[in-house]
């Protein structure tokens, strides 16, 4: 966490020859500690007489997590953690690890978590708790708690290749139970998660893995055959692929990150579609725009990611309070730049996986106030909550990740 690397980037460095089961366990331990980091820290602190070195501290947190939140028999959890101390050349600390974990087992039954400070109890930095409280009113405890629950696995049926119904039948034939997601017609949810390589139809592009809340974007863009469409922040390409699956459009997919665009190319190839793909700063239109106006633009803006904390608990600890205002500034600048490339009568969909107003309705409010030829198109939908402009979704609502969407239209010339 010190280098602000994401958890996914750190897990990508696990040894290539590690077994799938070990990989899954390491991943569950890392995600679990980050989800519950503050509470585990609060449990550990009184048991220490001095500050342990970082590796030992991390090991103790992993040990406590196993005792607190995982279905691992306590004696096995203590034994494995003590053994790991030796493997990590922390042999001299084995006695201490053993004593702390055994002591915790004894004390745990008597512990009363209601006395913990709110941020510790819910496992969030205080500044995030304050922002969620301010933005979500009485829903704030539910919003925080939802960010600590594992997310369901949603799939998207590729309309070019099969109906959602057919996709579900094929999964059922392979013994994989799924259900249709009510308010999103391309989405289905699996009863239990499964790796992509074991999903029938994934390699051939019939189905893709994508949160159902994220699948709402393509329907809001509502591009028609022949439309000239821009996906301005497109990588790793899930929404681009969905846009292309829905209609024969002429899509330009931009992203500032060349490595992430490689994943986009792989995704488009897998689902059997093509787009023009370009590395660019979307806001810097002089450098990439050829002057041909777009009928539709999707701006899936870079944001705090506070709506996807349940999938990426490291976000809680990687973000800093200043990041929110900085993100809002970038979002405003992207909107201003991209608006100039939108055709009169065209539509721009603004999306973020943030649940903070500063990156959602406040951005749109300010944009509409300074942009004469922009109008909000009210989203008439059965998902999320209506905001002054746009709609936002709380994490876990309908099973979705947290999102904000607004639809803007440019006055006809």
Ligand X SMILES: C[S@@+](CC[C@H](N)C(=O)[O-])C[C@H]1O[C@@H](n2cnc3c(N)ncnc32)[C@H](O)[C@@H]1O
Q: Which residues bind ligand X (CB under 6 A)?
A: 214, 233-239, 254-257, 260, 281-283, 300, 302
Smaller CB separation from ligand X, 239 or 246: 239
Is 272 annotated among the ligand-binding residues? no
Is 52 annotated among the ligand-binding residues? no
* 184 flagged as catalytic: no
Smaller CB separation from ligand X, 44 or 279: 279
Smaller CB separation from ligand X, 64 or 271: 271
- Minimum gap (Å) between residue 102 Cβ and ligand X: 45
Smaller CB separation from ligand X, 28 or 256: 256
The angle that helices 321-339 and 361-370 make with each other, rounded to 10 degrees, is: 40
Is 280 annotated among the ligand-binding residues? no
Can you list the alpha helix ranges (DSSP code H) found in 109-211?
118-122, 126-136, 140-146, 164-173
- Minimum gap (Å) between residue 353 Cβ and ligand X: 6
Instruction: Give the residue at shortest CB distance from ligand X.
Output: 233
Is 234 annotated among the ligand-binding residues? yes
Residues in contact with 266: Cβ distance below 8 Å, sequence separation at least 6, in sequence order: none
- Minimum gap (Å) between residue 230 Cβ and ligand X: 11
Residues in contact with 294: Cβ distance below 8 Å, sequence separation at least 6, in sequence order: 228, 229, 230, 252, 341, 342, 343, 346
Rounded to an integer, what distance in angstroms lies between the CA atom of residue 350 and that of residue 365? 12
Which run of H or E residues covers position 299? strand 294-300
What distances in angstroms separate CA 53 from CA 10, 39, 48, 60, 317, one per listed residue?
20, 19, 12, 11, 19
Rounded to an integer, what distance in angstroms lies between the CA atom of residue 195 and that of residue 188? 16
Is 295 annotated among the ligand-binding residues? no
Smaller CB separation from ligand X, 36 or 211: 211
- Minimum gap (Å) between residue 184 Cβ and ligand X: 14
| Catalytic residue (choose from 162, 184, 303, 353) | 353
Smaller CB separation from ligand X, 78 or 252: 252
- Minimum gap (Å) between residue 393 Cβ and ligand X: 15
CB 213 within 8 A of CB 156: no
Rounded to an integer, what distance in angstroms lies between the CA atom of residue 159 and that of residue 185? 10
- Minimum gap (Å) between residue 311 Cβ and ligand X: 12
Can you list the alpha helix ranges (DSSP code H) found in 216-370?
216-221, 238-246, 258-271, 315-318, 321-339, 361-370
CA dihedral 282, 287, 293, 298 (to 10 degrees): -10
Is 236 annotated among the ligand-binding residues? yes
Is 2 annotated among the ligand-binding residues? no
CB 301 within 8 A of CB 351: yes
Which run of H or E residues covers position 85? helix 74-87
SS3 call for 135: helix
Residues at the annotated binding site?
233-239, 255, 281, 300
Active site residues: 353
Residues at the annotated binding site for S-adenosyl-L-methionine?
233-239, 255, 281, 300
């Amino acid at each position: 966490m010190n280098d602000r690397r994401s958890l996914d980037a750190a897990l990508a460095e696990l040894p290539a020859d590690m077994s799938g089961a070990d990989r899954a366990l390491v991943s569950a331990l890392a995600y679990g500690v980050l989800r519950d980091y503050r509470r585990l820290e609060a449990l550990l602190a009184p048991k220490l007489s001095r500050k342990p070195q970082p590796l030992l501290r991390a090991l103790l947190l992993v040990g406590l997590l196993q005792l607190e939140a995982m279905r691992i028999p306590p004696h096995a959890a203590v034994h494995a953690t003590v053994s790991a101390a030796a493997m990590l050349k922390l042999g001299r600390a084995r006695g201490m690890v053993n004593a702390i974990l055994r002591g915790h087992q004894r004390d745990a039954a008597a512990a009363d978590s209601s006395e913990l400070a709110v941020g510790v109890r819910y496992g969030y930095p205080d500044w995030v708790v304050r922002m969620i409280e301010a933005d979500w009113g009485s829903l704030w405890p539910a919003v925080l708690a939802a960010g600590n629950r594992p997310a369901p696995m949603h799939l998207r049926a590729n309309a070019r290749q099969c109906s959602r119904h057919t996709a579900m039948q094929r999964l059922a034939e392979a013994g994989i139970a799924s259900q249709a997601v009510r308010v999103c017609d391309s989405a289905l949810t699996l009863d239990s998660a499964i790796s992509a390589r074991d999903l029938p139809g994934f390699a051939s592009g019939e189905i893709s893995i994508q949160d159902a809340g994220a699948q709402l974007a393509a329907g809001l863009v509502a591009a028609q055959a022949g439309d000239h469409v821009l996906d301005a922040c497109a990588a790793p390409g899930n929404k681009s692929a969905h846009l292309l699956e829905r209609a024969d459009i002429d899509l330009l997919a931009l992203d500032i990150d060349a490595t992430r665009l490689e994943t986009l190319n792989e995704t488009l190839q897998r689902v059997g579609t093509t787009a023009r793909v370009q590395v660019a700063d979307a806001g810097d239109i002089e450098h990439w725009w050829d002057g041909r106006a777009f009928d539709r633009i999707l701006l899936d803006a870079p944001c705090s990611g506070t709506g996807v904390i349940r999938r990426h608990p490291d976000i809680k600890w990687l973000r800093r309070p200043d990041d929110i205002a900085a993100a809002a500034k970038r979002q405003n600048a992207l909107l201003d730049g991209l608006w100039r490339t939108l055709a009169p009568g065209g539509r721009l969909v603004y999306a973020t996986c943030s649940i903070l107003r500063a990156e959602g309705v406040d951005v749109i409010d300010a944009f509409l106030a300074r942009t004469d030829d922009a109008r909000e198109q009210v989203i008439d939908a059965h998902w999320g909550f209506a905001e002054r402009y746009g709609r936002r979704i709380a994490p876990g609502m309908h099973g979705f990740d947290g999102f904000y969407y607004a639809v803007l239209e440019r006055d006809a010339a």
